[in-house]
A and B are shown apart, each in its own frame.
Chain A
Amino acid sequence: MLKTYNYPKFEYRRPPEIASGKTLKVPVVVVGAGPVGLAAALDLQQQDLPVLLLDEDDTVSIGSRGVCYAKRALEILDRYGVGDAVCAKGVSWNVGRTFFREEEVYNFNLVPEPDHHRPGMVNLQQYYLEEYLAASAAARPEIELRWKNKVVSVAQGDRTVTLKVETEDGFYTVETDWLIAADGARSPIRRMLSLEVEGKIFMDRFLIADVVMKAEFPSERWFWFDPPFHPGQSVLLHRQTDSVYRIDFQLGWDADPEQAKKPENVLPRIKAMLGALDGKEREFELEWVSVYTFQCRRMGRFNHGNVLFIGDAAHQVSPFGARGANSGLQDADNLGWKLKLVMAGLAPAALLDSYSEERIYAADENLLNSTRSTDFITPKSKVSRTFRNAVLGLAKDHAFGRALVNSGRLSVPAFLTASSLNTPDGAGDSFAGRMVPGAPMDDAPVVENGKAGWLHNKVGHSFVALYFAQDAAVLPAPTLAALSNLSWQGIEVRPLVISAGPGLLAGDIPVLEDARGVAARRYDAQPGTVYLLRPDQHVAARWRSFGADKVRAAVARATCNI
């Protein structure tokens, strides 16, 4: 067990169905309470759905796994009630240094762009993230979390899915309309349904160690290519919470994982590496060590009728770029509102095809970037290694060389520009900037009722129409009336006015003051500009002038109701 962390033990309760022998009937089941299954349960709960969440274990992720959580993931975690906890406990970092042999060839500074609520990246051991998510889920009575409940068989029917669940007290049966499979990279559900996952394994092994360092070391990401203390391979160092440092040693394919893991082999490696940092002797203790191989693969589609795959069950990437859990959280974010609309009969099941399409687009981007990084870190031929070393040699003196160095491209959300849910810009509506239809929305500081806050915390859960005004106080009555009436065929569309001045509205439309014009600048807005945001905070459509019928048509399109 770890010295710096006590694993929580979640309580197992005997399911009543074991004594009664009755089949438990529920609308939706999530299998797997890893970060992604927990996120999915929380997302559905916020869509007012009751959720049954099953996990075979009774604690959080064991040992060294996820470390880095990116800005977009943190924004999503805000909606699940854990953003503050993760940011408070985690370590923010900005500087990344890259070394080639003895020399630093290049460094980058992720200095967070000002005027965003969340930083670019926070490092935190995965077990903390899961602990916070589990606590947030446990506090919501609509989520029933059953630990030590293992799904052992799945039968998929036309209308329902039937699960057999094993506990220490025996078996019971669950019948559900929808099944969300968040059961991780080996996904037993995927196997039980004989579904394929395609991709490749990288012919390389990595020794992943967590060590507690007694001496302070800056909160930076250090990456070495071919360092003297580990010749021919790469090494990565990250700081985590509680003075725990993550070290990845590339071992090569021929390494014997069992040998490599032995303390007598691990300790000298770490000692040599820490000695090379700044020549100081550093005391350290080993917390955890494991040897991994990495895969890049995904399922052909993520929805199969009433079974939906999310997180590592649907796709797996190498960890260079920290795209695993980060992208899984975005799966949950993309799926929750769509499933809710379909379950409520407000959208056709085709909306769930868009879940698969959009998240496959994102998964492919993640797979592409992590494959490129892995290919740079582990060149597969002599010529590839020569080019890699040439790039590293040029990087020290030349900016173009630095742009080619690839030690991991850190997780950013996909711009879903090709999605069929987007309404393309109209011919007369021209916009500058990045907030194109399909873009994940940019944050901005806003003031509501005299209280400073953040735009991304004011939207989400439902569709939102953002109306940009010079002065909210002088908006004409018909515009206000139309804005208050945008909900369409039972699908909620909340209006929000973003005002350059501090004017307040009569009526019940909230006004956000954009005193420094940051929101208007990021959205290239003029008075009268309207953005339609999806419940997952992606841009669905935008116009230079407001029209209720245009908004409704875009809502119809974004929900497959055309």
Chain B
Amino acid sequence: MTLNLNPNFSEAGKRYFNAYTPADDFYELLINTHRDLSDEQSELLNARLILLLANHIGDIGTLREALNIAREGV
């Protein structure tokens, strides 16, 4: 598996009439999940989220690719 860097959001059973909607749906969900948290709590949430998603992806080659790209831009 290689890392997918193309737009890839969708939700089962949902029909989209505008291409921007799925990414915006996700982004809103992400930001709302952080609502009312302190900066420290948000940091913890992000860490937990990364661990959950990493386990879901599973493939360490793919994760290595993502980790490298993430690190490059910091």
Contact = CB atoms under 8 A, between A and B. Distances in A.
Interface of A: 369, 372, 375-376, 381-384, 387, 390-391, 393-394, 398-400, 402-404, 406, 409, 412, 415, 417, 434, 439
The 9 closest A-B pairs by CB, nearest first: A403-B7, A383-B42, A403-B23, A398-B5, A415-B17, A393-B73, A399-B6, A404-B23, A383-B34
Contact of B27 (A381, A406, A417): A406
A381 B20 contact: no
Contacts of B42: 381-383
Nearest to B73: A393
Contacts of B43: 383
Given A372-B24, A409-B24, A415-B17, A383 B39 contact: yes
A393 B20 CA distance: 19
For chain A, what secondary structure do more than half of its interface residues adopt (helix, strand, loop), or is it mixed?
Answer: helix
B34 A381 contact: yes
A375 B27 CA distance: 10
- Max count, chain A CB within 10 A of own CB: residue among B7, B17, B18, B19: B17
A372 B39 CA distance: 21
A387 B17 CA distance: 26
B29 to A, nearest CB: 11
A369 B24 contact: yes
Contacts of B24: 369, 372, 406, 409
A415 B18 CA distance: 10
B62 to A, nearest CB: 14
6 contacts: A375-B28, A381-B39, A383-B34, A390-B73, A403-B9, A404-B27
Interface in B1-15: 4-9, 15
Contacts of A404: 23, 26-27
A369 B21 CA distance: 9
Given A383-B37, A383-B39, A383-B42, A400 B5 contact: yes
Contacts of A415: 17
Contacts of B30: 387
A39 B30 CA distance: 40
Given A372-B28, A394-B73, A403-B7, A383 B46 contact: yes
A434 B23 contact: no
A434 B42 CA distance: 40
A380 to B, nearest CB: 8
Given A372-B24, A415-B17, 9 more contacts: A383-B37, A383-B42, A384-B31, A391-B27, A399-B7, A403-B19, A403-B23, A404-B23, A406-B20
Contacts of B69: 394, 398
A120 to B, nearest CB: 13
Contacts of B31: 375, 384, 387
B37 to A, nearest CB: 7
Contacts of A376: 27
B34 to A, nearest CB: 5
Nearest to B6: A399
B13 to A, nearest CB: 13
B16 to A, nearest CB: 10
B73 to A, nearest CB: 5
B18 A400 contact: no
A518 to B, nearest CB: 20
A456 to B, nearest CB: 18
A372 B22 CA distance: 12
B37 A403 contact: no
Given A404-B23, A409-B20, A434-B17, A384 B73 contact: no
B5 A399 contact: yes
Contacts of B23: 400, 403-404
Given A383-B39, A399-B5, A409 B27 contact: no
B18 A409 contact: yes
A387 B7 CA distance: 17
A327 to B, nearest CB: 15
Nearest to A434: B17
A376 B34 CA distance: 14
Interface in B23-60: 23-24, 26-28, 30-31, 34, 37, 39, 42-43, 46
B18 A412 contact: yes
B11 to A, nearest CB: 15
Nearest to B26: A404
Contacts of B6: 399-400
- Looking at A375, A398, A434, which has the most chain B CB atoms within 10 Å of its CB? A398
A409 B28 CA distance: 14
Contacts of A400: 4-8, 23
